[in-house]
Amino acid sequence: MARLLHNLLLLTVGLTLKIRVMGYWSLIYGYCALCTGVALLKLGWNIILRPSTTFQWTVRETPPACLNDTSLGTHCYVRIKESGLRFHYVAAGERGKPLMLFLHGFPEFWFSWRHQLREFKSEFRVVAVDMRGYGESDLPSSTESYRLDYLVTDIKDIVEYLGYNRCFLVGHDWGGIIAWLCAIHYPEMVTKLIVLNSPHPCVFTDYALHHPSQMLKSSYYFFFQLPYFPELMLSINDFKALKSLFTSRSTGISCKGRWLTTEELEAYLHALSQPGALTGALNYFRNVFRCLVLPLSQSEVKSPVLLLWGERDAFLEQDMAEACRLYIRNHFRLNIISGASHWLQQDQPDIVNTLIWTFIKEGEGRKNYRNL
């Protein structure tokens, strides 16, 4: 009888798990279908309004001058033996000084850290990476190549190639997610963690599942699961959707004095218009739901953490920021920056840089962190 009850219990647990997984994927694909319908309506409307230009876009073959600005640093490349991938990065500051490593978000590349490269090169070896699938780094074609564990291992390998075993790790958006995971899985590698507008992965998962408003703001996650069609929608009308992300009133950079110049916007379009570039960027999203089926085996962050959050983030709700405190076992500082958008390090660079300096110096002083 005991064995029968035990077998029934196992069967019930297994059946419940299967039902939950089926329900999970049904919701995802159902929402994908809804988002696809909306996108098709937008495409049809574009064709009606702009029949001659909808399917026209230009690959920017020549990089704008701002990408070769020597004040930002030197363009370098590294090929990682384990993965076989070649990574591009821009580095400034003296070799041997503490490493400050910057990880960008979607749909950005190393250039989003231009204000920080200039600011921190006086005291650090500053390095802004094009993550796999972006910019001049290699673009693996398969979606499987963008699993979170691969993305995290990339950062560890790059740090080691640069000749360091520790760094001050700074991440924004998707780069923030990778930075959180690096601090979780390689705590000895992260001296201090600085994250901009990106919640702890567990916070995002839990919050989105319980707040329909955040699920709505994250609807692009579902749309990006589709093959080919998202790339098309981001390309039509000469990448109008990408331009709008950075420049529109609802989603763009808020600070008038920091609006992207024509040349800076062209820098983004140069990077994203290259063959395969949009697919590489979107493949980050195409693995995310597989990662959410099972919780993280580890979730605690042992490094000191500074979380900076733009109050007017159009994609992520502010309540997630405070919830990150639950997963941090060290000093945690949260700063909400009034009036700032999702593109925080470009929107309010002076405030961001000041807050990072203050956090770096806390409890250490410059003499100590120079020798890390």
pLDDT at 15: 57
d(CA 98, CA 73): 16
Q: pLDDT over 90 for what percent of the chain?
A: 77
The residue with tokens 């929107």 is 347
Rg from Cα positions in the chain:
21
On the question of pLDDT at 6 being above 60, the answer is no
Cis before 199? omega within 30:
no
pLDDT at 290: 74
Q: pLDDT over 70 for what percent of the chain?
A: 88
The amino acid that residue 184 corresponds to is: I
Largest interatomic CA distance in the chain? 78
Give the dihedral sign, CA 202/344/229/131: negative
Q: What is the mean pLDDT of residues 331-360?
A: 98
Q: Is 139 exposed, middle or buried (0-12, 13-18, 19+ CB in 10 A)?
A: buried
pLDDT at 1: 63
* Confidence bin at 367 (pLDDT 50/70/90): very low
pLDDT at 370: 37
pLDDT tens digit sequence for 109-128: 999 999 999 999 999 999 99
Give the dihedral sign, CA 71/307/187/205: negative
The amino acid that residue 84 corresponds to is: G
pLDDT at 288: 85
The residue with tokens 């993965």 is 83
pTM of the model: 0.90
pLDDT tens digit sequence for 245-287: 999 999 999 999 999 999 999 999 999 999 999 999 999 999 8
Q: What is the mean pLDDT of residues 187-213?
A: 95
* Confidence bin at 10 (pLDDT 50/70/90): low
Are 307 and 197 within 8 A, CB to CB? no
Which residues make Cβ contacts (< 8 Å) with residue 140, sequence separation at least 6? 85, 132, 133, 146, 280, 283
For the chain, give the number of residues: 372
On the question of pLDDT at 360 being above 80, the answer is yes
pLDDT tens digit sequence for 238-254: 999 999 999 999 999 99
Q: Which residues pair with 306 in a beta bridge?
A: 194, 333
99: nearest Cα among 365, 360, 297:
360
d(CA 43, CA 231): 13
pLDDT at 366: 42
d(CA 325, CA 307): 10
pLDDT at 345: 98
Average pLDDT across the chain, whole number: 91
Q: What is the mean pLDDT of residues 84-92?
A: 97
- Give the E-state strand segments of the chain in sequence order: 74-79, 86-92, 99-103, 125-129, 167-172, 190-196, 305-310, 332-337
Token pair in block for residue 312 = 């007017």
pLDDT tens digit sequence for 17-61: 456 556 655 766 677 788 888 888 889 999 998 888 899 999 999
Which residues make Cβ contacts (< 8 Å) with residue 45, sequence separation at least 6? none
* Confidence bin at 214 (pLDDT 50/70/90): very high
pLDDT at 142: 93
pLDDT at 134: 98
* Cα–Cα distance list, 358 to 256, 334, 362, 364 (Å): 26, 12, 6, 11
Token pair in block for residue 203 = 């916070």
d(CA 41, CA 70): 45
